[in-house]
Chain A
Amino acid sequence: MSVVLLIGATSAIGASLVRALATQGNELYLVGRNAERLAGVVEDAKLRGSKVIASMPVDLADLKNCEELKQWISAISEVEHAIILPGVLSDELGTLAQWSQDVMVNFTVPSFLARTISEKMSSQSEGGHLVLIGSVAGDRGRQSNGFYGSQKGALEIYAEALRHRTALKNCKVKVSFVKPGFVVSPMTAELKKNVLFSEPDQIAKKIVSLFSRGRSGVVYAPGWWRLIMLLIKLTPNFIFHRTRL
Chain B
Amino acid sequence: MTEVWWQDELQKPAIEGARFLPVGLGRSYGDSALLAEEDGVMKSISRAGRLVGFDDETKVLEVEAGCSLGEILKWCVPRGYFLPVVPGTQKVTVGGAIANDIHGKNHHESGTFGRWVVSFDLFRTEGGWVSCSKSENRDLFEATIGGLGLTGVLGRVRLRMHALQGEGLVEQETVRFDSLREGTEILSGLDRRYPMTVAWIDMASKKMGRGVAMGGRFVEGECPRSKRKGISVPFDAPSCLLNRSAIRAFNTVYSATRHPGVERLPFEKYFFPLDGVENWNRLYGARGFLQYQCVVPLHAISALSELQRKIADSGQGAFLSVLKKFGPLSSPGLLSFPMSGWTLAMDFAMEGAATLSLMKKLDGVVREVGGRLYPAKDARMSGEFFREGYPQWEELEKLRDVSITSRFWERVRT
Contact = CB atoms under 8 A, between A and B. Distances in A.
Interface of A: 12, 36-37, 40-41, 43-44, 47-48, 184-186, 189
B3 A43 contact: no
A185 B8 CA distance: 16
B2 A47 contact: no
B6 A37 contact: yes
A36 B50 CA distance: 13
B223 interface: no
Contacts of A48: 51, 75
A189 B3 contact: yes
B53 interface: yes
Closest 3 CB pairs of A and B: A44-B50, A47-B51, A44-B51
A40 B5 contact: no
A47 B8 contact: no
A40 B2 CA distance: 21
B50 A186 contact: no
Interface residues of B, number: 12
Given A47-B75, A48-B75, A40 B3 contact: no
Contacts of A44: 50-52
Nearest to B67: A44
Contacts of A36: 8
Please indicate which of the listed interface residues B3, B51, B53 has the most CB atoms of chain A within 10 Å of its own CB. B51
B51 A43 contact: yes
B53 A43 contact: yes
Given A186-B5, A189-B2, A189-B3, A40 B75 contact: no
B54 interface: yes
A86 to B, nearest CB: 16
B62 to A, nearest CB: 9
Given A36-B8, A47-B75, A48-B75, A41 B50 contact: yes
Nearest to B74: A23
Interface in B317-343: none
B19 to A, nearest CB: 20
9 contacts: A12-B5, A36-B8, A40-B50, A44-B50, A44-B51, A47-B75, A185-B5, A186-B3, A189-B3
Contacts of B52: 40, 43-44, 47
B8 A37 contact: yes
A221 B282 CA distance: 29
